[in-house]
């Protein structure tokens, strides 16, 4: 029995298992299909799944596309090969969809899982940096600056950012460039920068000097010395301080004068403070040269007009303090005394000081002579041989008598001879006190004689040698009277043909010299020479210009030069030049003297007309050495 039961149990178990297997075999699998978006097959490894027999922990693998039948609604763990090389290109698989593990679908359904590959990561992260930053310096080194720098990227999402200098660093004055970078997982790096500018716009702090009142120590004011105020600054440890006017400057009396002090840091920021300086003058002047007590004799009825020298005064500030005395110098002082004279010196600030002296007037004992007033030495010019009448003024004044007469020898209005004469003068007052003096009167002769000369003379020539010329020249001097005259050339001499200057002079007995001159012109006579007219053209050329000659012929030009003796002059040198002038053209020629011939008491020149043109009028000019001319003309046909 026991054995049968065991067999029965075994059969039951087997039957149960068979039935169970049949039941499972009737379940439709839920397939999972693995694919990829890569162009080549990719190996897929399924690590754990439950197969259609509901057996868990199964594994499989293969190339895509790969189908794995699973028990419905069971967990499947898998992964794709990380990379695959396809046609020389590497494809990286960074994710799957859905992620592993997944749950298979319902019975009889298929879930497709596609493995995705990523395009290679070559993009650098995106940096997020601050814009340029400007901050105020807070200390001599500069300022501590904090900032935020971040980056965005696919992998990782926010890579770390490194900056140099880093946030929180101390930045110096000026502009500093902050360089930042971020690197992603693919070693792509982004770089960027921004500027941090540290400025100093904060003005220094300056102390205030107190107002000053000082005593004047020089003319017009004081040279004032003071200590410059101090200054501090956040950044500049030693800001400069300057004041105007500077310490030691001159400050005028009065005021107040404002001193402005300015503190300036290295960045040019400045601030100012001020204080006032007032210069006062409280010290009185000092009187100098006060007169000692005086005793004087009366010099007028009942007393004396007393003259004294006012004292002077000096002052530290006022260059010219005023000084006044009462009674003033020259005032009347009565007989007796003493009379007090008080002198006061006052400066521009009205500080004053006083001093005094006494004046005592006694009865007069007149021992003082008058005071003569005489002219200085006099010099006058003589008006005649006797000299000159000289007028002058001489006076005298006496302290007691007033004006007194003056006697002078020679007296004013006297005739003073040429030379120096001493004039002696004297005056005596009513008490017999006399004064005398002198001066000189010098009469001199500085005027030259007056010359009387002929005016210019025109004299006809006697012959080729010229003419004998006589003239009268005289001179008169206001002191010497008539004085001799010397002339060169002298009167009565032969003067040559032409113009001669006669120079004359006369000297008086005191050496005063007068000079003058006049002109003598000796010219050829206008008249006949041996019965033939002179100073004109002769035949065959008509004097009226009506002559006509054949062009190319020779025309004789004849003329005479006469002396006053009626004789023709043929001496060489009479003719200066012979010029041909065509009235329609420029000067054609100049003929020298040696082309002339003198014969038969006349001059002749044969004019060759072969170079001249017919139907023209030709004018000739003959210049003589006495300055006169002979002109003529003719026509050519």
3-state secondary structure string across 230-277:
CEECCCCCCCEEEEECCCCCEEECEEEEEEEEEEECCCCCEEEEEEEE
The answer to whether residues 547 and 492 belong to one domain is no
Tell me, what CATH number does 174's domain have?
2.60.40.10
The answer to whether residues 630 and 550 belong to one domain is yes
Locate 1 and state its tokens.
């029995």
**Strand 450-452 and strand 474-477: pairing?**
antiparallel
pLDDT tens for 458-480 read 988 888 788 899 999 999 999 99
Locate 542 and state its tokens.
């008509």
The answer to whether residues 318 and 235 belong to one domain is no
CA distance 534 to 577: 18
Q: State residue 593's pLDDT score.
A: 44
More confident residue, 622 or 380: 380
The answer to whether residues 238 and 257 belong to one domain is yes
Q: What is the mean pLDDT of the chain?
A: 87
The answer to whether residues 546 and 613 belong to one domain is yes
- Lowest-pLDDT range of 337-351, 395-409, 433-447, 577-591: 577-591
More confident residue, 26 or 270: 270
Tell me, what CATH number does 51's domain have?
2.60.40
Locate 351 and state its tokens.
């500080």
The answer to whether residues 632 and 558 belong to one domain is yes
Number of domains in the chain: 7
Examine the fold and report which residue of 474, 496, 523 is the final residue of a domain before the chain moves on: 523
Tell me, what CATH number does 585's domain have?
2.60.40.1930
Of 76, 78, 85, the closest CA to residue 41 belongs to 85
Of 27, 36, 38, 42, the closest CA to residue 72 belongs to 27
Examine the fold and report which residue of 508, 523, 538 is the final residue of a domain before the chain moves on: 523
Of 149, 95, 150, 154, the closest CA to residue 124 belongs to 154
Dihedral sign from CA coordinates of 376, 379, 385, 390: negative
pLDDT tens for 172-227 read 999 999 999 999 877 899 999 999 999 999 999 999 999 999 999 999 999 999 99
CA distance 344 to 325: 6
The answer to whether residues 486 and 412 belong to one domain is no
CA distance 632 to 616: 14
CA distance 321 to 349: 10
CA distance 524 to 545: 23
**Strand 450-452 and strand 270-280: pairing?**
unpaired
For residue 594, what is the DSSP state? G
CA distance 82 to 94: 7
The answer to whether residues 101 and 143 belong to one domain is no
Locate 79 and state its tokens.
């992964």
Rama region for 535: left / alpha / beta (φ>0; ψ in -120 to 50; rest): left
The answer to whether residues 221 and 253 belong to one domain is yes
Judge whether residue 238 has pLDDT over 80. yes
How many residues are listed for the chain in this entry? Answer: 637
The answer to whether residues 356 and 378 belong to one domain is no
Q: State residue 95's pLDDT score.
A: 52
The answer to whether residues 533 and 516 belong to one domain is no
Q: Which domain holds residue 194?
A: 126-199
Of 615, 618, 623, 622, the closest CA to residue 633 belongs to 618
CA distance 544 to 535: 14
CB 133 within 8 A of CB 197: yes
> Which range is most confident: 87-101, 534-548, 562-576, 620-634?
534-548
CB count in 10 Å sphere of residue 509 = 12
Q: Does residue 136 sit in helix, strand or coil?
A: strand
The answer to whether residues 164 and 261 belong to one domain is no
Examine the fold and report which residue of 302, 328, 362 is the final residue of a domain before the chain moves on: 362
Residue 5: which pLDDT band, with cuts at 50, 70 and 90?
A: very low
């Amino acid at each position: 029995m026991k054995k049968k039961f065991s067999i029965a149990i075994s059969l039951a178990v087997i039957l149960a298992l068979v039935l169970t297997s049949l039941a499972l075999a009737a379940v439709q699998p839920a397939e999972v299909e693995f694919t990829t978006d890569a162009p080549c097959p990719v190996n897929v490894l399924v690590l754990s799944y439950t197969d259609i027999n509901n057996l868990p922990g199964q594994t499989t693998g293969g190339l895509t596309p790969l189908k794995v039948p699973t028990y419905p609604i069971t967990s499947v763990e898998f992964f794709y090969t990380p990379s695959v090389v396809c046609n020389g290109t590497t494809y990286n698989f960074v994710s799957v969809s859905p992620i592993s593990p997944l749950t298979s679908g319902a019975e009889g359904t298929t879930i497709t899982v596609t493995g995705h590959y990523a395009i290679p990561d070559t993009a650098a992260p995106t940096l997020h940096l601050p814009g340029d930053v400007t901050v105020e310096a807070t200390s001599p080194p500069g300022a501590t600056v904090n900032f935020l720098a971040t980056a965005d990227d696919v992998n990782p999402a926010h890579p770390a950012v490194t900056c140099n200098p880093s946030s929180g660093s101390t930045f110096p004055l000026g502009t500093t460039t902050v360089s930042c970078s971020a690197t992603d997982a693919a070693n792509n790096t982004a770089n960027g920068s921004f500027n941090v500018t540290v400025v100093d716009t904060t003005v220094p702090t300056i102390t205030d000097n107190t107002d000053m009142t000082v005593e004047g120590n020089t003319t017009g004011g004081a040279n004032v010395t003071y200590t410059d105020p101090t200054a501090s600054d956040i950044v500049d440890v030693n800001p400069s301080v300057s004041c105007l006017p500077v310490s030691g400057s001159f400050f005028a009396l009065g005021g107040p004068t404002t001193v402005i002090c300015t503190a300036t840091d290295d960045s040019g920021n400045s601030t100012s403070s001020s204080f006032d300086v007032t210069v006062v003058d409280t010290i009185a002047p000092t009187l100098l040269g006060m007169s000692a007590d005086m005793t004087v004799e009366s010099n007028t009825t009942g007393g004396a007009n007393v003259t004294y020298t006012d004292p002077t005064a000096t002052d530290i500030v006022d260059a010219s303090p005023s000084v006044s005395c009462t009674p003033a110098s020259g005032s009347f002082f009565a007989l007796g005394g003493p009379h007090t004279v008080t002198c006061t010196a006052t400066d521009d600030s009205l500080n004053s000081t006083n001093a005094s002296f006494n004046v005592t007037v006694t009865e007069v004992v007149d021992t003082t002579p008058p005071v003569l007033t005489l002219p200085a030495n006099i010099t006058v010019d003589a008006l005649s041989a006797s000299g000159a009448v000289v007028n002058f003024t001489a006076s005298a004044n006496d302290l007691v008598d007033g004006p007194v007469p003056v006697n002078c020898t020679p007296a004013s209005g006297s005739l003073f001879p040429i030379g120096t004469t001493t004039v002696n003068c004297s005056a005596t007052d009513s008490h017999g006190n006399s004064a005398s003096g002198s001066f000189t009167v010098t009469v001199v002769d500085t005027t030259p004689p007056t010359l009387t000369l002929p005016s210019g003379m025109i004299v006809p020539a006697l012959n080729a040698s010229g003419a004998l010329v006589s003239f009268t020249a005289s001179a008169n001097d206001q002191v010497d009277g008539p004085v001799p005259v010397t002339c060169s050339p002298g009167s009565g001499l032969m003067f040559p043909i032409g113009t001669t200057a006669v120079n004359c002079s006369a000297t008086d007995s005191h050496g005063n010299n007068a000079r003058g001159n006049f002109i003598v012109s000796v010219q050829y006579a206008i008249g006949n020479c041996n019965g033939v007219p002179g100073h004109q053209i002769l035949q065959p050329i008509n004097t009226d210009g009506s002559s006509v000659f054949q062009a190319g012929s020779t025309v004789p030009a004849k003329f005479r030069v006469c002396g006053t003796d009626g004789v023709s002059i043929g001496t060489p040198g009479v003719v200066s030049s012979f010029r041909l002038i065509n009235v329609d053209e420029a000067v054609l020629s100049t003929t020298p003297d040696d082309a002339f011939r003198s014969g038969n008491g006349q001059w002749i020149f044969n004019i060759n007309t072969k170079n001249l043109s017919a139907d023209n009028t030709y004018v000739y000019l003959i210049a003589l050495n006495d300055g006169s001319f002979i002109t003529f003309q003719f026509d050519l046909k």
